[in-house]
Amino acid sequence: MKRLAITFAALLAALPATAQDANDTTAGELIAKFAAEAGITPDAEVGKAFFLATQTGGGADTPSCSTCHTADPKAMGEARTGKPIEPMALSVNPKRFTDTAFVDKWFGRNCDSVLGRECTAAEKANVLAYYSSL
């Protein structure tokens, strides 16, 4: 557990820390917010497993996150509509998770599509930790 906390602290320190307006944040702040809501220490490996897993039930219409985002979050994805999706990995797309409203909308739409429900705070923290670890 101590190793995870140290790894998480190092991860947060390495993330971009620029904010331009009241709606802007950093990925590290979002991870910390979701982790605090869930009462967990974010785990990138759990986030990776969630991202790659084929989901069943719940009325979902997309089998996994990687259906559109590809199994490599450093690569471009493609929505079912054919619209390109920018890489999810912060190492490739450092501004990906800096707009709180966008992140909330993104998780709301995509979790409903994949899970047939809203993602939990723990799922959000772990997935963002995974994207941040790449």
pTM: 0.80
pLDDT at 113: 86
What is the residue range of 98's domain?
2-14+25-133
How does pLDDT run across 4-36, given as a tens digit for each residue?
A: 444 554 454 444 444 344 467 899 999 999 999
**pLDDT value at 96 more than 50:** yes
Does residue 20 form part of some domain? no
Structural domain tally of the chain?
1
Amino acid at 80: R
Two tokens, residue 89: 């990995």
Does residue 108 form part of some domain? yes
Cα torsion for 115, 80, 45, 39, to the nearest 10°?
A: -40
Kindly report the CATH number assigned to the domain that includes residue 55: 1.10.760.10
Does residue 29 form part of some domain? yes
